[in-house]
Amino acid sequence: MPQPSTPDPARTAPGADPAAWTGRDRWGRLADDMLRAVRPYASERHALIRLPGPASASGEWSDGLEGFARTFLL
């Protein structure tokens, strides 16, 4: 599998090391950060992830289950 190219230094955040964001480690850290971001919205037993915003027509329970299921894409 080909490795992604090193990001253009002009397009990275100041002080960021572009080499630190290549390969598998980058995606692992990104997935960890995304999962940490939804953790505050998890139900008491972590079965549902109820993100802020209005409920859909399917209801809050369905939305919470969908929020939980979407984390499996990571």
Query: What does the pLDDT read at residue 52?
Result: 93
pTM of the model: 0.61
Place of tokens 């100041």: 14
Q: What is the DSSP letter of 14?
A: T
> What is the rounded distance in angstroms from the CA atom of residue 72 to the CA atom of residue 74?
5
Answer whether 63's CB lies under 8 Å from 56's CB. yes
> What are the residue ranges spanned by the domains of the chain?
26-73
Q: Which two tokens stand for residue 4?
A: 């992604």
Q: Which two tokens stand for residue 67?
A: 């929020």
Query: What does the pLDDT read at residue 8?
Result: 61
Question: Tens digits of per-residue pLDDT, 6-63?
Answer: 556 555 666 666 666 667 888 888 899 999 999 999 999 989 999 999 999 999 999 9
Query: What does the pLDDT read at residue 10?
Result: 59
